[in-house]
Structure 1
Amino acid sequence: MKLAVLGATGWIGGTIMQQAISRGHEVIAVVRDASKVTQDVAVRTLDLTTMTSDAIASAFADVDVVIASIGGRAAQNHQVVSQTAKQLLQHLPKAGTPRLLWVGGAGSLEVAPGVTLVSTPEFPADYKAEAIAQGEALAVFRDTDSAIEWTYVSPAAIIFPGESEGPYRIGGNEFFTDALGQSRVSVVDYAKAMLDEAENAQHINQRISVAY
């Protein structure tokens, strides 16, 4: 399978790229700064703040699946999240790309019917802006009429550095925890879940969540 990872130099994107390489996929790193890619993979450049339809078509031409891992935290530009979702859904068909997998957030998961995690008093203030931005991106996916087959993949509330800790579980829109009442997953197991979905396409046009 030919995979393009948008945001391949980031923490989660880089882990997803490494997992894809280890599974023998042909990987293309799509980044703003090609000099930051250290793995032996093909590299294409794309600036999310200035991208055009033609730039998107060029960056993702002849790709089976796009995995997008982006955020606005570093540049304090959270609007780029939903804007990128809209642009990819609109213009990826021009590249001939059939599938888009999105690294989402946990904040939009429901802790009760109609009540999202990000709206609870306990949600950390430092992460609220990016959680809201990812919720806006989820709304973009749910409202789209794009021909792209998408999957929005929310991690657990805590996604942490480290290797695999064993089997993960797949949920839907509801926030869920393990036997100790914790919502957690390692970045490696999240990446495995993402690649499993890329390979098996079991949740087309759905939001799923990943946790132990």
Structure 2
Amino acid sequence: MYETKNPQLTPELYAYVLDHNPPLDPVQRGLVETTHRRLAGVAGMQTAEEQGPLLAFLVRLTGARQVVEVGTFTGFSTLSMAQALPEGGRLIACDISEEWTAVGREAWERAGVADRIDLRIAPAIDTLRALPAGEWIDLVFLDADKESYVDYWEELVPRMRPGGLLVVDNTLYHGDVADPAATGGGAAVRAFNDRVRADDRVDDVLLTVADGLTLARRLP
């Protein structure tokens, strides 16, 4: 029988976690609040608040200079990573919504990082297929339509430099991945997780961060 060491994440404990992570700066906080105010019906798609500092930490940890994000929404994760990039770093952000990303553009300008972000409005699979071949991407953040995760993965992994890091969100999909009878997004993420586990091009871990976070390192 498997036993979890994870405590129940009560509102009080979640507040404690946020209090003991790097605080959001005023632009990041404003972007989170603007997303909930302007787009209340879909604001749940925003990357979890604690993941912003985590993504920035991973950019700095890996020394990433070339970042690709698949699924931008209002750009909180984009902003967090762009702020952590070194001089000359570049982030290609893929999304299909001018409306949602317009919220992010405002924040990127206020934060002074808009020149680091190359936003491409098009189906992400088309954007990825048009990227240069070869091993050049340092870090990926994948948080888009779950039914296309495997397709995105197959475009991204060959373009990762050895040691490059892929960060994939929602890989527990509200717990549905544990149900063999899951349908829709749960079934898609379950199939994606199986694909990652079987992929000998990477080593990987699946963590119980937010709605599940997979970290995969491109092997030489």
Q: TM-score with structure 2 length normalisation? A: 0.46
More RCO (CA 8 Å, sep 6+): 1
Greater per-residue strand proportion: 1
Q: TM-score with structure 1 length normalisation? A: 0.48
Which structure's CA Rg is the greater one? 2
Greater per-residue helix proportion: 2
